[in-house]
Chains A and B, each alone.
Chain A
Amino acid sequence: DQQVKQNSPSLSVQEGRISILNCDYTNSMFDYFLWYKKYPAEGPTFLISISSIKDKNEDGRFTVFLNKSAKHLSLHIVPSQPGDSAVYFCAASYSGAGSYQLTFGKGTKLSVIP
């Protein structure tokens, strides 16, 4: 049973516009969420995170929103740039999971068109 779901396998956005990547989760014990970005033939790199005590966290062009009642989070990238083209993974953890194990979604491939 998939506990972290990214229902859009791919997304195309024009350069300069907003990219919105979505993630849903089913385990109500999750209390910490992260987004990772992955380029081909490289490992994932950490992008931004949010704790369940917050509903928004911002870092430059990247903002993550958390809606706990809907068990939904989203990553906004504004403005989108061609270098943002990558696969984005949503991940979740909770303090009860040994060493804060991460559960990943399947990823969304973002293509930013110049």
Chain B
Amino acid sequence: NAGVTQTPKFQVLKTGQSMTLQCAQDMNHNSMYWYRQDPGMGLRLIYYSASEGTTDKGEVPNGYNVSRLNKREFSLRLESAAPSQTSVYFCASGKGGRQPQHFGDGTRLSIL
């Protein structure tokens, strides 16, 4: 059982380049989430999708867009990458409500 799979695991971009981070879950979860974690910080919510067909902004949405492609997949796009977006990005999924979220192993993104 793969759980939550994120691709790629590592990426280096130049300022201004665009990129899409992919996330897929095989647990039939309704809700999916994108977080970023910066050094010495907790995880901060970028966007989430409570169910297929819906997306909402989290705490730090600026500079990002998301697509809930289907129930399994939730992608995060950086249209014009900036050095401030250098971070580790985590995707998570959950049944929704109070149920715990399950996390992928992260994408380490560096923007030069």
Which residues of A pack against B, CB within 8 Å?
4, 6, 9, 32, 34, 36, 41-46, 49, 51, 89, 91, 93, 98-107
Contacts and interface: CB of A to CB of B under 8 A. Distances in A.
Contacts of B98: 32, 49, 51, 93, 100
Contacts, number: 59
Given A98-B50, A99-B96, A101-B58, A45 B103 contact: yes
B45 A101 contact: yes
A43 B37 CA distance: 11
Given A42-B105, A43-B90, A98-B50, A104 B43 contact: yes
Contacts of B50: 98-99
Given A98-B56, A100-B97, A102-B43, 15 more contacts: A4-B42, A36-B103, A43-B90, A43-B92, A43-B105, A45-B102, A45-B103, A46-B101, A89-B42, A93-B98, A98-B50, A101-B45, A101-B48, A101-B58, A106-B42
B102 A46 contact: yes
Contact of A99 (B43, B48, B102): B48
B100 A98 contact: no
Given A99-B48, A100-B97, A100-B98, A106 B40 contact: yes
A102 B31 CA distance: 13
Given A44-B90, A99-B31, A101-B45, A34 B97 contact: no
Interface in B30-73: 31, 40-45, 48, 50, 56, 58-59
A4 B97 CA distance: 20
